[in-house]
A and B are shown apart, each in its own frame.
Chain A
Amino acid sequence: MIRVQREDFDIGAELDKLTAGRSDIGGLAMFAGLVRDFVGKDKAAGAEVSAMTLEHYPGMTEKRLAEIEAEANKRWPLSASLIIHRYGKLTAGERIVLVACAAAHREDAFAACQFLMDWLKTSAPFWKQEDTATGPRWVEADAKDDALAARWKK
């Protein structure tokens, strides 16, 4: 299931809903992305970030997320999967994204979860603009994310 929304989500409630009534799930892996309050490697070296605005391409976003989720379900035997991605203005510490994968065994759940995040980072049409002490700044794509996504190409 995929959801693109402005509102916050409750991680516990979402995971409960995903696995409710199921007894075939042996492993549930999840990743949540939050708004970090600094730019760069560590807080001391980087600029402070008070908030971030996430823009997306309505229509293509839902399409891409559904395709990415379908691809994960093709590669791993998942019992259930969930992607929630927020947009709009989010302050430091707020939740941005939740990815959860349930499977009979943990290896599939872990791998699918990592795959979904890597693919989402490099192919879902979202853009982040950070509010820093020196003004707003568009986040630039990181070559490291491309390398992480490339490991799943086959």
Chain B
Amino acid sequence: MKLLYFAWLRQRIGSAEETVTPPPEVTTVGELLAWLATRGPGYAEALKDLSVVRVAVNQEFAQSGDPVKAGDEVALFPPVTGG
């Protein structure tokens, strides 16, 4: 699974992109975020308030209960501020 991080999530996690293999019990966006938060202090800090974390799976906005699987591109970012 390819993970992408943008804006302050990228800065706090300390990486823009990585490939991970989550444990098999991780099947949803919510479970993926919970697992990521255990991977180190940067992750925990970046993911401590999920109300300001948005997720896209394969470049489509996704909610906590939406499925994730091997091979997906999952992006984590703050609420968007373009325009």
Q: Which residues of A approach B to under 8 Å, CB–CB?
A: 33, 54-57, 59-60, 63, 85, 96-97, 117, 120-129, 138-142, 145
**B residues in contact with A57, CB < 8 Å:** 4, 6, 56, 59, 75, 77
Q: B59: nearest residue on chain A (CB-CB)?
A: A60
A128 to chain B, nearest CB (A): 5
**A residues in contact with B77, CB < 8 Å:** 57, 125, 127
Number of B residues with CB within 8 Å of any CB on chain A: 15
CA distance A140 to B7 in the complex (A): 11
A123 to chain B, nearest CB (A): 7
B82→A60 contact, CB < 8 A: no
Q: Which residues of B approach A to under 8 Å, CB–CB?
A: 4, 6-8, 56, 59, 61, 75, 77-83
B82→A126 contact, CB < 8 A: yes
A95 to chain B, nearest CB (A): 12
B80→A127 contact, CB < 8 A: yes
**A residues in contact with B75, CB < 8 Å:** 57, 60, 125
**B residues in contact with A33, CB < 8 Å:** 83
A56→B4 contact, CB < 8 A: no
CA distance A96 to B83 in the complex (A): 7
Task: Beyond A117-B83, A121-B80, A127-B81, list 6 extra A-B contacts (CB 8 Å).
Answer: A60-B59, A97-B82, A125-B82, A138-B81, A141-B78, A141-B80
B80 to chain A, nearest CB (A): 6
